[in-house]
Amino acid sequence: MARLSGKTALVTGGGQGVGRGIALALAAEGAAVVITGRTEGKLKDTAGEITERGGRAYTVVGDVGERDDVDRMVAETVREFGGLDVLVNNAQSSVQRKLVETSYEDVELTYRSGPLAAFHAMQAALPHLRESCGSVVNLGSSAAVQGEATFAAYAMAKEAIRGLSRVAAREWGPYGIRVNVICPAALSPAAEEYFAAYPERAEGVLAGIPLGRMGDPETDIGRAVVALVSDDMAYLTGATLMLEGGRTLIG
């Protein structure tokens, strides 16, 4: 029997890249998957892949930066599949500028689409996660862990997500809810475009990964999320997993 049979998962930003890979992997292990995002065509494409493989998928168009949209995403998930077991907060807008050039608007955008979106989704999902003793996976970034140059607004947002996750892990542990963070390095469409534009930087990135390659969104990142939300890792909460092939080593 698939590890997630009978479970329902909500993945924000599931129409492409890492979110898509996570959605596909969750569905492959038996979960009914709701994917959300702002672009309907991409959501439909991912949902189509899931159904073609024999899985169950549902799409909700919306902006995680809007509280009403987030509440609707959770409500439609529960209405469609009867509950919620797994919440993956993947959606995040990114701004890359030098610190001195970073504006208030840049910070506001990354916070609204990142930690505030995760905060709103977690609050909306809590009653349902309590019923299911569910699991939350939030996405962080090594750009924040390492303090990479030109990522000021993005790093601020991603570290806020890690702080939120640790607090939730402590407060929600008594309900049987686990909250963890992953920091992935995967060959998403955005990464492919970046490497194509800056091939010399691609070489530098790969040289810094002990395993010598970028991760695959589904098989490397998605399947790790499957393990994380399954009973196989039922005793892990409040953790940050660096899914980067060894690029970032933290103690």
Q: Give the angle subtended at the CA of 161 by the CAs of 226 and 140, to the nearest 5°.
A: 50
Distance of CA 66 to the CA centre of its chain: 17
Q: What is the pLDDT of residues 133-185, one digit of tens each?
A: 999 999 999 999 999 999 999 999 999 999 999 999 999 999 999 999 999 99
Tell me if 248 is assigned to some domain.
no
- Residue 14: closest CA among 59, 52, 54: 59
- When divided into structural domains, the chain yields a total of 1
Tell me if 196 is assigned to some domain.
no
Question: 114, 161 in Cβ contact below 8 A?
Answer: yes
Q: What is the mean pLDDT of residues 26-32?
A: 98
- Residue 88: closest CA among 3, 150, 7, 147: 7
Question: For residue 173, what is the DSSP state?
Answer: G
Tell me if 211 is assigned to some domain.
no
Evaluate the CA torsion angle 63, 123, 220, 148 in order and state its sign: positive
Q: What's the pLDDT at 64?
A: 98
User: Residue 251 pLDDT more than 60?
Assistant: no
Residue corresponding to tokens 């909700």: 60
User: pTM for this one?
Assistant: 0.96
Q: Find the domain containing 92 and state its range.
A: 8-187+218-243
- Residue 77: closest CA among 112, 3, 17, 129: 129
Tell me if 101 is assigned to some domain.
yes
Q: What's the pLDDT at 72?
A: 98
Tell me if 177 is assigned to some domain.
yes
Q: What is the mean pLDDT of residues 114-135?
A: 98
- Looking at this protein, which amino acid is placed at residue 96? Q
Tell me if 30 is assigned to some domain.
yes
Question: For residue 51, what pLDDT band results from cuts at 50, 70 and 90?
Answer: very high
Q: How far apart are CA 67 and CA 64, in angstroms?
A: 7
- Residue 180: closest CA among 112, 244, 240, 132: 240
Pairing mode, if any, of strands 240-243 and 56-61? unpaired
Q: Can you read off the two tokens belonging to residue 174?
A: 């008594």
The residues facing 12 across adjacent strands are: 36
Q: How far apart are CA 207 and CA 148, in angstroms?
A: 17
| CATH number assigned to the domain comprising residue 132 | 3.40.50.720
Question: 33, 9 in Cβ contact below 8 A?
Answer: yes
Residues annotated as catalytic (active site), given as ranges: 154
Q: How far apart are CA 206 and CA 199, in angstroms?
A: 11
In this predicted structure, which of 54-58, 117-121, 143-147, 232-236 has the lowest mean pLDDT?
A: 143-147
Tell me if 167 is assigned to some domain.
yes
Tell me if 111 is assigned to some domain.
yes
**Interacting residues of 5 by C-beta distance below 8 A, sequence separation 6+:** 29, 30, 31
